[in-house]
Each structure stands twice: as C-alpha cells, then as structure tokens.
C-alpha cells in the first residue's frame, strides 16, 4: 500500500470516528504541516498556533473530504486558508494596537548548521510567498505538481512557473554565496 493510500485509509477511519486513526494522522502529517508554516513565517510560535488551528479545522470539516480524493491537497488547502486568516487577523489586530514604546530589535542567532552552509530558512524567506509556498510543498513535503496545483487552486502550469522562478532566484542566491554546484542541483540539473 502506498503512503498516500495509507493516509487516505486513516482519513476514512477518522471520518468514521476512529480515534486511533485521528491520532495516527496527526502524528504522521504534523511535521510536514509544521515545516510548511515555519517556511512561511519567521515566528515559530505562530507556526505552532497555525498547526493547532489547522487540526481544529480539519476536525470540524473532515466530513467534506471525499474518499478517493487525494488527502494532501485537501489538507494543504485548509492549511493555506488557516495561514491567510491568521495573517488577516494579525493585520487587523496590529492596526488597532498602539505601541507604548519601541523596543530595540535583537538579532536572532543563526540556526544551527554547518559553518559556511547556506541557511535554508533565510533563503526561502527571500522568495515571494507564492513561490516559497510551492517550493515547500514540492521539495520539502514531496507533493506532486498536481497535488500542489489542487492545494493552491492554481493550474499545473502556474505551479511549474512559480517553481521555476523560485529555483532561478535560489540558484542565483547560492551562486552569489559561492555555492554554484548546489545551485545546479536545486532543480535536478
């Protein structure tokens, strides 16, 4: 049985009220969703909140998923809408807040990694949101072009174009950092 078929079987069982299936889905899919949110946001606590909110929405709307459909596009569509709602709510809340005083911004320490290696989070952060989202779904979550197209409500051609443009920008960035070989391998060349 393929991993996708296994996930879809768990989802069917979850729809039927099987708690063990729900727990298994959360444990299997949360790391992918968390990476999706972290790649989109600079604040990890927001990613934690968005992950929880996504699972609440999945629970509330689990009856809308139809057996036989691919589960990941359905799930990522919910995650995208959750992120968009969070962004709108944050903007609305911040527009009403008044700052009492400005605190100096302290630079965060660079995430752990090999000295001299490129920081993936920082590189992804330089991409426009739509391109970053596509790269995360394709390369980090391992989704197919068709699944990403469904999850983002775009055509496969549009997903390919966003991915291509993102790869070009990342390759240029890697080359400027002296990683020309890594840039050529980015999109499989």
Identify the band that residue 55 occupies on the pLDDT scale cut at 50, 70 and 90.
very high
> For 106-149, what is each residue's pLDDT tens digit?
555 555 445 567 778 888 888 998 999 999 899 888 889 999 99
- CB count in 10 Å sphere of residue 108: 7
Q: What are phi and psi of 88, to 5 degrees?
A: -60, -45
- Check residue 182 and give its pLDDT: 54
Residue 103 pLDDT > 60: no
pTM metric for this prediction: 0.61
Does the structure show a pLDDT above 60 at 180?
A: yes
Tokens found for residue 70 = 């691919």
**What confidence tier does 177 reach under pLDDT thresholds 50, 70, 90?**
confident
Ramachandran assignment for 142, one of left (phi > 0), alpha (psi -120 to 50 degrees), beta (any other): left
Q: Find how far residue 166's CA is from the centre of its chain.
A: 15
Q: Which of 29-38, 64-73, 81-90, 156-165 has the lowest mean pLDDT?
A: 81-90
| CA–CA distance, 178 with 173 (Å, rounded to integer) | 9
Query: Which numeric CATH code is attached to 119-189?
Result: 1.10.10.10
> What is the average pLDDT across 59-71?
93
DSSP the chain: --HHHHHHHHHHHHHTT-HHHHHHHHHHHHHHHHHHHHHH-S-HHHHHHHHHHHHHHHHHHGGGS-BTB-HHHHHHHHHHHHHHHHHHHHHHHHHH---SSPPPP-PPPPPS--TTS--HHHHHHTS-HHHHHHHIIIIIS---HHHHHHHHT--HHHHHHHHHHHHHHHHHHHHHTT-HHHHHHTTT-
Mean pLDDT score across all residues of the chain: 83
CATH class of 1-89: mainly alpha
Q: What is the pLDDT of residue 87?
A: 84
The residues spanned by each domain of the chain are 1-89, 119-189
pLDDT at 187 over 60: no
Sign of the alpha-carbon dihedral angle for 126, 130, 131, 135: positive
Mean pLDDT confidence for 41-69: 89
| Measured distance CA(159)–CA(131) in Å, rounded | 8
């Amino acid at each position: 049985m393929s991993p996708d078929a296994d996930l879809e079987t768990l989802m069917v069982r979850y729809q039927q009220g099987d708690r063990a299936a729900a727990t298994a889905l959360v444990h299997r899919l949360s790391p992918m969703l968390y990476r999706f949110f972290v790649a989109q946001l600079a604040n990890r606590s927001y990613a934690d909140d968005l992950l929880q909110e996504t699972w609440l929405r999945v629970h509330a709307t689990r009856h809308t998923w139809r057996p036989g459909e691919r589960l990941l596009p359905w799930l990522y569509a919910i995650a995208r809408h959750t992120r968009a709602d969070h962004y709108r709510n944050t903007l609305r809340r911040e527009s009403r807040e008044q700052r009492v005083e400005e605190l100096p911004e302290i630079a965060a320490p660079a995430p752990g990694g090999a000295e001299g290696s490129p920081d993936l989070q920082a590189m992804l952060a330089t991409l426009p949101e739509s391109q970053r989202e596509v790269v995360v779904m394709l390369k980090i979550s391992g989704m197919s072009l068709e699944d990403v197209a469904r999850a983002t409500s775009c055509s496969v051609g549009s997903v390919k174009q966003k991915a291509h443009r993102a790869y070009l920008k990342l390759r240029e960035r890697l080359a400027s950092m002296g990683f020309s070989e890594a840039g050529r391998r980015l999109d499989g060349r």
